[in-house]
Chains A and B, each alone.
Chain A
Amino acid sequence: MSCFGEISLQELSIQEINTKLDALIAEHKQMPGALLPLLHAIQDNMGYIAESFYTPISKALNLSVAEVHGVVTFYHHFRTHKPGRHILQICRAESCQSMGSEALEAHAKKCLNIDYHQTTPDQTITLEPVYCLGNCALSPAVMMDEEVYGRMTPADLDTLVSEARLVEATA
């Protein structure tokens, strides 16, 4: 399974996208309750679930397009638009609040100059809220792609963001 961070959809042609989508559908459609595993696989492999995918998905799983749309939009995890190359989630839950996560949120929004659910203009970072990362003894916590970071300070956050940018610049 690829990680959430491998965003490659934008580099594929329409034909390649369709081939990939068909393969994923074929791989998952026999599973009981196939829709969520399929949507996860699509997002893992292609970065997001484009609305144009609803029709082929609905046909394969014998659902209506409305049902697919309903499921995709019900769950906070699924995205219908291209995200930045990294996803930064800041925990907003009570434990992190007790250790100053509100200041961390404000700092992130100010420094990245974006709000939640938005992406920086250089396409590096998409900022998302999250409600508990299970790192509550080391609050406040954030998650960059699939890694959790505990006891975060605004300065740590700056380091995390600039490292992400630096790695890209040198890659």
Chain B
Amino acid sequence: MTTKVYIPRDSSALSVGAEKVALGIALEAKKRGLEIDIVRNGSRGLYWLETMVEVATDKGRTAYGPVKVKDVASLFDADFLHGHAHALSLGLTEELDWLKKQQRLTFARVGITDPISLDDYIAHDGYKGLKNALTMSGADIVQVVADSGLRGRGGAAFPTGIKWKTVLEAGAKSNIGLGCESDIKYIVCNADEGDSGTFSDRMIMEDDPFVLIEGMTIAGIAVGATQGYIYLRSEYPHALVTLNSAIEAANQAGYLGNDIFGSGKVFHLEVRRAAGAYVCGEETSMLESLEGKRGLVRFKPPLPAIEGLFGKPTVVNNVISLATVPVILDKGAKYYADYGMGRSRGTLPIQLAGNIKRGGLVELAFGVTLRELLYDFGGGSASGKPIRAVQVGGPLGAFLPESQFDTPLDYEEFSKIWAVLGHGGIVAFDDTVDMAKMARYAFEFCAIESCGKCTPCRIGSVRGAEVMDKIIANKDKKTPDTAKNIKLVRDLSDTMLNGSLCALGGMTPYPVLSAMNHFAEDFSPRDFELKQSKAVA
């Protein structure tokens, strides 16, 4: 009997040698005259165990990891093809504590299926959401999404249903206008996942691309859009290949194109490559880029839902938001909304990253605390030193000290402590981190990535880095300049916070000020007065 062996094709797994392991296993099987069927699945998201090899046995899939090429022969010697014990045995995959404790809705199939096999996708509940959607009116689909409580997972957490409703109605209005308005609308998927510490978009696109395609198709049918674009960052070449082959398969099978499922509905999908500009993750800047221009942020209003891509009503959603739509349409709004807390409904794919022992993807209902994530899932720092700070929500997210680790993951709870959840990325730092340097880096990053349209961001970021340089240079001297410079950074941050056109300049003060507020000793270790003034602030 041919044994199925699963070896991930996810680029993070490849980054630690999955390709060589796959080759090694294929060669070793051939050498021993054993018939195996290698499936290149997605990653389960237990990245510290990559390359994680799974074998299909009578009891279920059995996992081994982290497998290196040098382990391949001994795996065969131990008869891993029948699930037998080996030093790298992890037991049944489904029984792994790290996976069992999760609530995977958006990531239900990730790591289980062959990402580019449409049959596999359908066999694992794929396209059920779209089938339901095709029996409903656009307004009803929008209502289901609204009732689910889904909020934009890109970071802004805007209710997805309201956005869709605006686009749905934007078309209706054009018919009673002067009669010259076109009824073209667009669905744009923001796949410019540039935040450090985040990789959930990449995982969806590489490891379960059909769920994104299905979500976008449902969005198109709901609001009456016939063309979709996925704006994919250029740093993800593997995702580009996977998406393109999945789109081709969906087109050939009639799940995309001019007659979806024989319903007569039309939806076309195309991937467009970004070109390494972080600011293009901002929706209006992204639309400019899709139009072939420099990624300069647009003034709002008009909202993209009214005047978006090429001036037409456009739904702009993050990968995770769109990839969550199929499960909502399949299982119903209530099923999804029953997860979560407060106004944060459903689940969040959380990414544990940085200096963490067990990094990877954890999908859980809102409400889990940072401490549970960092220690129960993450196992503490990779270096074994105490975790001193975490940055949640990418380079524009606040740094949180240990005293805030009991904050539950919830949009509103994070707002209360002047932090953001963003895209759900959590980067841990051990006690060797220099927070003054991190604050300086936040300004530097903003300066490198600023689109240049508004002054607070373009000039403020450069000046901020300069002043931080002075603070860092004066760090071990007792000098009145530091107090003055810190006040200057606070003033500058206030200007950027309130005067910038978009979140890049407007949120750079989050990491800067949170570092100053919570880790003042890194800015001026000897200045007692300054610590006092910080306590007052």
Which residues of A line the B interface, CB within 8 A? 3-4, 32-37, 39-40, 61, 67, 70-71, 74-78, 93-99, 130-139, 141, 143, 146-151
Contacts and interface: CB of A to CB of B under 8 A. Distances in A.
Contacts of B198: 132, 134, 136
B70 interface: no
B273 A71 contact: no
B291 A33 contact: yes
Rank and list the top 10 A-B pairs by shortest CB-CB distance, nearest first.
Answer: A137-B359, A93-B196, A35-B292, A136-B353, A75-B275, A77-B276, A150-B15, A137-B47, A76-B276, A77-B275
A139 B198 CA distance: 12
Contacts of B47: 137-138
A139 B353 contact: yes
B321 interface: no
Contact of A98 (B11, B201, B295, B355): B355
B196 A77 contact: no
A93 B351 CA distance: 15
Contacts of B194: 131-132
B441 A94 contact: yes
B234 A77 contact: yes
10 contacts: A33-B290, A33-B310, A61-B292, A75-B277, A93-B197, A94-B438, A98-B428, A136-B197, A137-B351, A148-B15
B395 A141 contact: no
Contact of A40 (B238, B273, B293): B273
A139 B277 contact: no
Contacts of B433: 98
A97 B273 contact: no
A149 B19 CA distance: 12
Interface of B: 11-12, 14-16, 47-48, 50, 193-199, 201-202, 234-238, 272-278, 289-295, 310, 351-356, 359-361, 382, 391, 395, 425, 427-430, 433, 438, 441, 445, 448-449, 451
A34 to B, nearest CB: 6
A8 to B, nearest CB: 19
Contacts of B201: 134
A149 B15 contact: yes
Contact of A138 (B16, B278, B391): B16
Given A74-B277, A75-B275, A98-B354, A134 B294 contact: no
B427 A134 contact: no
Given A95-B353, A130-B235, A138 B15 contact: yes
Given A75-B295, A94-B196, A149-B15, A134 B275 contact: no
Contacts of B290: 33, 36
Contacts of B289: 36
Q: Interface centre among B12, B202, B360, by most A CB within 10 Å?
A: B12
A70 B289 CA distance: 12
Nearest to B358: A137
Contacts of B310: 32-33
Q: Interface centre among B193, B359, B448, by most A CB within 10 Å?
A: B359
